[in-house]
């Protein structure tokens, strides 16, 4: 039996092999409860699978680090955020952390190349990102944090390239700004992302036109082999970060799709259960008068047989009176069944069929 509190590789997915659990994805409660010992598609808890994404449980240091990273990524999440908004906020945090790692790398490189003044830009990016995310955790002001992070992620790589002496001397470090444009697609609308792309292209053209000016100003003495190495580092690291962000996006999107399918299955199951309850109540309401009709009909058949065998007028009269009374009751219960069906039709047309069944309880 699985131990309580263990989780799958996605730390935000709650796991408990012994108790009922609520499914928590990206800090947002879905509000559905999984059955003891299994999941909606029948996977047993003994198989040590996550109740949400059905991934194997994971323990140890890897789980601890993933849990910490997951908590950091949700610093700006509030209780009423939907899954899509949570996804966007997490993506923004991941972008800031990964580009800060790039800033740390580049700051160290330029210090190693004895350009300590220029290292102020990548290290400054780290500081600005830290305070921006700290403000995000306190204020939850997503629009401001989003625009500020995108702005510094776009502008500072171009500024850094200029003070390093242009494209060749910096190894095309302005390519880091493309991360801001690509990432903005996940947490902004297409129109806003196009504006960032236009600004990126304009800055690229301007820095390309004035590249010789920056070379004459800085007079870099970077050997060709170092420039090639810097190009290689930029391409490898930027490509890896883009791939990591894409993995995050695809995994979250697949989990969201699976969640929606599960919710649809639960809604369908609830509808079928409600239909079954309604059918039973409707059958009870209609069968009650029909049973009276059948009973009085059976009795009336016997009375007709008796009427045909009676010899005296008095016996025939008494039997006929009972028969008439039965026919009246049959008519009454028939009208009652008709009234029930008409009431149900009216409630159905008005969308208040549930009130009809609740009133009959």
**Span 65-96, pLDDT tens digits:** 556 777 888 899 888 888 778 888 888 898 89
For residue 57, pLDDT over 60 is answered with no
Containing H/E element for 254?
A: helix 224-309
For residue 253, pLDDT over 90 is answered with no
CA nearest to 87, candidates 272, 249, 300 = 249
Per-residue pLDDT at 68: 77
Percent of the chain residues topping a pLDDT of 70: 68
The helix-helix angle for 61-73 and 83-112 (nearest 10°) equals 110
User: Taken in order 38, 42, 46, 49, is the CA torsion positive or negative?
Assistant: negative
For residue 310, pLDDT over 80 is answered with no
How distant, in Å, are the alpha carbons of 64, 281, 290, 337, 349 from that of 275?
Answer: 46, 10, 22, 20, 16
For residue 43, pLDDT over 50 is answered with no
Least confident of 72-76, 141-145, 204-208, 356-360: 356-360
How far, in Å, CA of 310 to CA of 247, rounded? 93
Q: Between residues 275 and 208, which one has the greater pLDDT?
A: 208
pTM, entire model: 0.58
For residue 42, pLDDT over 70 is answered with no
Is residue 49 classed exposed, middle or buried when 0-12, 13-18 and 19+ CB atoms within 10 A define those classes?
buried
For residue 279, pLDDT over 80 is answered with no
Encode pLDDT of 184-228 as tens digits: 887 777 888 889 999 999 999 999 999 999 999 988 888 888 889
Per-residue pLDDT at 208: 93
Least confident of 83-97, 252-266, 330-344: 252-266
8 contacts 15 by C-beta, under 8 angstroms = yes
For residue 128, pLDDT over 70 is answered with yes
Per-residue pLDDT at 359: 57
Is residue 293 classed exposed, middle or buried when 0-12, 13-18 and 19+ CB atoms within 10 A define those classes?
middle
């Amino acid at each position: 039996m699985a131990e309580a509190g263990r989780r799958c590789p996605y730390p935000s997915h709650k796991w408990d092999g012994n108790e009922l659990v609520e499914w928590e994805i990206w800090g947002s409660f879905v509000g559905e409860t999984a059955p003891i010992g299994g999941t909606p598609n029948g996977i047993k808890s003994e198989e040590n699978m996550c109740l949400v994404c059905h991934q194997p449980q994971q323990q140890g240091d890897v789980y601890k680090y993933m849990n910490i990273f997951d908590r950091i990524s949700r610093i700006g999440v509030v209780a009423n955020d939907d899954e899509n908004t949570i996804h966007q906020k997490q993506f923004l945090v991941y972008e800031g952390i990964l580009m800060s790692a790039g800033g740390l790398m580049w700051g160290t490189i330029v210090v190693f190349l004895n350009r300590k003044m220029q290292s102020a830009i990548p290290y400054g990016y780290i500081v600005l990102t830290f305070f921006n995310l700290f403000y995000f955790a306190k204020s939850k002001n997503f629009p401001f944090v989003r625009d500020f992070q995108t702005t510094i992620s776009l502008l500072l790589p171009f500024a850094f390239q200029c003070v390093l002496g242009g494209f060749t001397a910096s190894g095309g470090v302005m390519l880091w700004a493309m991360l801001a444009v690509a990432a903005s697609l996940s947490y902004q609308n297409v129109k806003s992302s196009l504006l960032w792309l236009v600004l990126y292209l304009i800055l690229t053209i301007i820095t390309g036109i004035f590249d010789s000016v920056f070379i004459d100003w800085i007079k870099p003495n970077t050997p060709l082999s170092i420039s090639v190495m810097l190009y290689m580092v930029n391409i490898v690291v930027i490509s890896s970060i883009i791939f990591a962000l894409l993995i995050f996006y695809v995994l979250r999107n697949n989990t969201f799709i699976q969640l929606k399918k599960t919710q649809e299955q639960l809604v369908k199951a609830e509808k079928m259960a409600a239909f079954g309850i309604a059918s039973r109540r409707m059958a009870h309401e209609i069968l009650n008068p029909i049973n009276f009709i059948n009973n009085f009909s059976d009795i009336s058949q016997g009375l007709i047989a008796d009427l045909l065998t009676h010899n005296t007028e008095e016996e025939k009269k008494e039997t006929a009176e009972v028969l008439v009374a039965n026919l009246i009751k049959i008519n009454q219960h028939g009208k009652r069944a008709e009234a029930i069906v008409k009431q149900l039709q009216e409630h159905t047309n008005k969308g208040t069929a549930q009130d009809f069944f609740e009133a009959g309880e």
